[in-house]
Structure 1
Amino acid sequence: MKIKSYKKIKGNEYELILDNDVKVRLYDDLIIKHELLLKKEITKDRLTKIVVANDNLHAYYLALKFLGKKMRSTMEIKNYLQKKEFDQKIIEETINKLIKENYLNNQKFMESYINDQFNLTYNGPEKIKQNLIKLGINEDQIVINKDFSEKIKTLISKKIKLNHKLSTNALKQNITTYLIGLGYRKEDFIDELDNIKSNDKSLIKKDYEKIMKKYQNKYDSFQLKMKVKEKLYQKGYTPDLINEWIEENL
């Protein structure tokens, strides 16, 4: 086969036009390496090998561009190249090359990810750990040596301000659900939780009045008392406080 002409496409890619009007896209690295500017003749087998080498180079350049945006895990690069429909062998060779050249390093990626999560988010250690596992980091390799105590205090303080109308128990449950959802373990914040106290006697008066207004004309005295107890208990008041309040007011 003869090479009729070259056409620059973009960046460092060129299109080779053969005498049978077949068009082949190649990087200039390979054009120079194989002296295709000088040798106008090329066999089918040789062209096939060059095209395979070009696919490898294309995967490598795409991976570098993807890595240029931010650090990535090995799994992220693998998934990215799979979406680009590269052959598995090419993906493995590309990843090995990137690791060898230190563009890919799961340990450094993990450390960077933990620092970013700690400094830029309110995510707790368990959520960070699970995110890293999803990104292909082995659980046994994950070590998070960060002090989350100040973050926990800040989060609890915000939740108290937003939910100041909740009873002590309801507020604690609300905060517990919220912090566990963010990836904190209960033992991480149990001491802070124990220090939380709402003005339950003031709050129960308002809730009691709302409940009475809603149900006092729907039940007889005994059923009304049971309904009021049920609703106050659902709001997180202790049985002792509920009984005390009902005895004094109902």
Structure 2
Amino acid sequence: MPVITKITQQKREKERYNIFLDEVYAFSVHESNLVKFGLTKGMQLENWEIEDLEYEEEIQRAFNRALHFLGFRMRSEYEVKQKLLHAEFGEAVIQEAILKLKRSGFLDDQAFSEALLRTQKNTTGKGPNAIKEDMEKKGIDPSIQETTLEEYDPQEQLATATKLVEKAARKHSTVAPTQLKQRIQNALQRKGFSFDIIREAIASVDFEPEEDEWTAITETTGEKAWRRVSIKYRGYDRKKRVKEAMYRKGIPFDRIDAFIEKKELEEDGE
């Protein structure tokens, strides 16, 4: 039966110790396992004890790898497990390492979900549906998803969505209201807001341009359509296609007719 003849602390990794059996280096252990197994000079080790030590050391290595991974930002249990699987740790070792991380307070899916919710709604302006998808990708348990998302109440959702609508309305003031509202609706759906919240947010913002803004929108939209259509069409066909193109962009018929009439008069005067 091998006997521990020397124990020395490593120079680079102070928390690790080299174990010598019968005067020959055998393996190293973390200080936690040195204490756990009560390793001392002169102690005899059974083969099963050495195997237990090796198993605990593998758990410690997985634990340390996970800590390094968690050092960059908070992670979910699923993310940590996938990282350790990729590092080729065994399932049993991973489970033990994860339990150790939980007991030490380094891994908490409830706290992770709450932090994810705060970040996504405050930084990216996402709605609950999109945040729920993010949580699912992170492997968060459905019950935790549900309790966490309850914190995102409808009034807060509406406030967030309204800010996004107001920002889009300012940024795209040269777009006709009908088209702009559709764009915003599509964007907010992608952001994960419900139809009711989107409808209420859009309704709370005044999209109607001033007369000079309407003129600019009509001119810009009409000129683009006129140039594009004029490449292939003239007369009635051109007039019809320009009218269709401008209508799809949300320009009212009376403004479309006025624009086309102006363009035709310009051509007649050439």
Going from structure 1 to structure 2, the CA distance change for 1:249 and 1:138 (only over 3 Å counts) comes to same
Deviation string, structure 1 residues 62-119 (Cα, Å, up to 9, x no partner): 4345445544322122223223322111222232344455543322332232223233
Aligned pairs (5 A) from 1:115-134: 115-134=118-137
In the aligned structure 1, how far is the partner of 2:102 from the partner of 2:36? Answer: 24
Runs of 4+ in 1 over 6 A off after TM superposition: none
Residue 220 of structure 1 pairs with residue 229 of structure 2? no
Deviation string, structure 1 residues 136-181 (Cα, Å, up to 9, x no partner): 2233442233312332222222212221211112211221222222
8 Å CA contact 2:162, 2:202 repeated in 1: no
Q: 1:190 aligns to what?
A: 199
Query: Out of 192, 203, 210, which is 2:217 matched to?
Result: 203
Q: 2:33 aligns to what?
A: 30
The amino acid that maps onto 1:169 is T
Query: Out of 171, 180, 202, which is 1:162 matched to?
Result: 171
SS in 1 for 2:173: coil
In the aligned structure 2, how far is the partner of 1:122 from the partner of 1:116? Answer: 9
**Residue 16 of structure 1: CA displacement?**
3.0
Unpaired runs of 5+ residues, structure 1, are none
Give the alignment's TM-score, normalised by structure 1: 0.81
In the aligned structure 2, how far is the partner of 1:202 from the partner of 1:223? Answer: 25
SS in 2 for 1:29: helix
In the aligned structure 1, how far is the partner of 2:198 from the partner of 2:83? Answer: 38
**Residue 50 of structure 1: CA displacement?**
1.0
Residue 110 of structure 1 pairs with residue 113 of structure 2? yes
Q: 2:142 aligns to what?
A: 139
Alpha-carbon RMSD:
3.1
**Residue 226 of structure 1: CA displacement?**
2.0
The amino acid that maps onto 1:196 is F
The amino acid that maps onto 2:223 is E
**Residue 130 of structure 1: CA displacement?**
0.9
Going from structure 1 to structure 2, the CA distance change for 1:162 and 1:35 (only over 3 Å counts) comes to same
Percent identical pairs in the alignment equals 25
Unpaired runs of 5+ residues, structure 2, are 265-270
In the aligned structure 1, how far is the partner of 2:176 from the partner of 2:51? Answer: 74
8 Å CA contact 1:168, 1:200 repeated in 2: no
In the aligned structure 1, how far is the partner of 2:243 from the partner of 2:174? Answer: 18
Query: Out of 212, 227, 251, which is 1:237 matched to?
Result: 251
In the aligned structure 2, how far is the partner of 1:33 from the partner of 1:145? Answer: 43
Going from structure 1 to structure 2, the CA distance change for 1:240 and 1:91 (only over 3 Å counts) comes to farther
Q: 2:160 aligns to what?
A: 151
**Residue 2 of structure 1: CA displacement?**
4.8
Going from structure 1 to structure 2, the CA distance change for 1:178 and 1:41 (only over 3 Å counts) comes to same
Higher deviation after alignment, 53-62 or 193-202? 193-202
